[in-house]
């Protein structure tokens, strides 16, 4: 077999690949044959050393992911066979493909629902914290100072907890983003082979940033201050657990254990709603 025949047949077997890839493989074998001839082999000997074009094509395709490789192999045998298989087999492979996409998507969704839950916890802590601060104002207005201090403590504490939870949620989200990226790579691997995620780069960013450390420290101080304030409020009320009792409904309003007239105080209407 002559060099050009070999290269032509090789390119024919690789027709399923993008043209620049075919050209790359063609050039590789052209160079190998030329180098052997330069080394003193005859053209026929040099071409024979490459094996058959079909074997060379098979080897070049061996690095492809499973699905394109199977398509390429069938196509190499016969283009008609590929079409017949694609059409006759469609009741099998279409539902399979849909199921595969469905599973891949649901796993993706599961990953993100975990992140969503973490952020919902953060939001709840924030809402409770802000409500407590509003109740502090109510306590001041109605003159129940122990209650106001206790509520201020709860508010500050919950907001500190919100920041702590926020940092954790952010960390979870980041890890999940990495996980979902890994999952995406895995899910498409039978069809497409991308670069593996660079683990060294991810590891380098593991250290906590200065900003986050400061944020955590401030949040921690908030929680501690909140607990101390709540304890002061509790002590000021004569260690009466009712100081933490807030009950707001449409027909009655209990603030710090005492029933009051809802029309006397601001915010109550809003919180009650």
Figure out which of the listed residues 1, 55, 116, 221 binds another protein, where binding follows CB under 8 A: 55
Residue choice 12, 51, 266, 272 for contact with another protein (CB under 8 A): 51
Here the tokens at position 174 are 């980041």
Size of the site for another protein (CB under 8 A): 24
Sequence-distant contacts of 118-124: CB under 8 A, at least 24 apart: 118/165, 118/168, 118/169, 118/172, 118/173, 119/169, 119/173, 121/165, 121/169, 122/162, 122/165, 122/166, 122/169
Is-contact 170 246, C-beta < 8 A?
A: no
| Nearer to another protein among residue 56 and residue 169 (C-beta) | 56
Phi, then psi, of 255 in degrees rounded to 5 = -120, 120
What lies within 8 Å, CB to CB, of 176 at 6+ separation is 111, 112, 114, 115
* 272, 249 Cβ separation under 8 angstroms: yes
140-199 residues near another protein, rule: CB under 8 A: 195-196
Helix 90-142, helix 145-188: angle, nearest 10:
170
Instruction: Confirm or reject binding of residue 59 to another protein (CB under 8 A).
Output: yes
Candidates 45-53, 125-133, 173-181, 264-272; binding stretch for another protein (CB under 8 A): 45-53
Q: Which is nearer to another protein, 38 or 251 (CB)?
A: 38
Question: Which lies closer to another protein via its Cβ, residue 53 or residue 153?
Answer: 53
Query: Which alpha helices (DSSP H) does 143-237 contain, by range?
Result: 145-188, 199-204, 210-236
Residue 49 within binding range of another protein, rule CB under 8 A: yes
Q: In the numeric block, which tokens belong to residue 133? A: 């601060």
CB of 191 to another protein, least distance (A): 17
Return the range that interacts with another protein (CB under 8 A); candidates 1-9, 52-60, 87-95, 211-219: 52-60
Q: Which is nearer to another protein, 58 or 240 (CB)?
A: 58
Q: How far is the CB of 176 from another protein (least distance, A)?
A: 27
User: What track of x and - describes contact with another protein for positions 1 through 40 (by CB under 8 A)?
Assistant: ------------------------x-xxxxxx-xxx-xx-
Instruction: Identify the CA nearest to 70 among candidates 80, 53, 82.
Output: 82
DSSP H or E segment with residue 121: helix 90-142
**Residues between 189 and 248 with contacts to another protein, criterion CB under 8 A:** 195-196
Rounded to a whole number of angstroms, the minimum distance from the CB of residue 69 to another protein is: 12
Give the footprint of another protein on this chain (CB under 8 A): 25, 27-32, 34-36, 38-39, 49-51, 55-56, 58-60, 62-63, 195-196
């Amino acid at each position: 077999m002559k060099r050009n025949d070999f290269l032509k047949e090789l390119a024919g077997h690789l027709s399923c690949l993008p043209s620049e890839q075919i050209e790359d493989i063609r050039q590789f074998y052209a160079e190998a044959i030329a180098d052997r001839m330069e080394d003193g082999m005859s053209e026929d000997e040099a071409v024979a050393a490459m094996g058959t074009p079909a074997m060379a094509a098979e080897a070049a395709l061996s690095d492809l992911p499973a699905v394109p490789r199977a398509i390429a192999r069938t196509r190499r045998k016969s283009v008609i066979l590929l079409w017949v298989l694609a059409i006759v087999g469609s009741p099998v492979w279409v539902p399979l493909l849909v199921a595969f996409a469905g599973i891949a998507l649901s796993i993706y969704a599961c990953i993100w629902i975990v992140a969503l839950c973490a952020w919902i916890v953060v939001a709840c802590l924030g809402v409770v914290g802000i409500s407590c601060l509003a109740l502090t104002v109510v306590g001041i207005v109605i003159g129940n100072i122990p209650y106001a201090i206790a509520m201020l403590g709860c508010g500050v504490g919950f907001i500190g907890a919100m920041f702590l939870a926020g940092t954790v949620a952010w960390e979870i989200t980041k890890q999940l983003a990495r996980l979902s990226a890994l999952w995406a790579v895995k899910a498409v691997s039978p069809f497409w082979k991308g670069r593996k995620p660079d683990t060294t780069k991810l590891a380098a960013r593991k250290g906590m940033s200065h900003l986050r450390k400061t944020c955590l420290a401030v949040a921690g101080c908030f929680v501690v201050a909140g607990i101390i304030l709540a304890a002061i409020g509790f002590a000021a009320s004569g260690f009466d657990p009712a100081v933490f009792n807030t009950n707001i409904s449409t027909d009655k309003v209990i603030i710090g254990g005492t029933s009051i007239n809802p029309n006397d105080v601001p915010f109550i209407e809003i919180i009650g709603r």
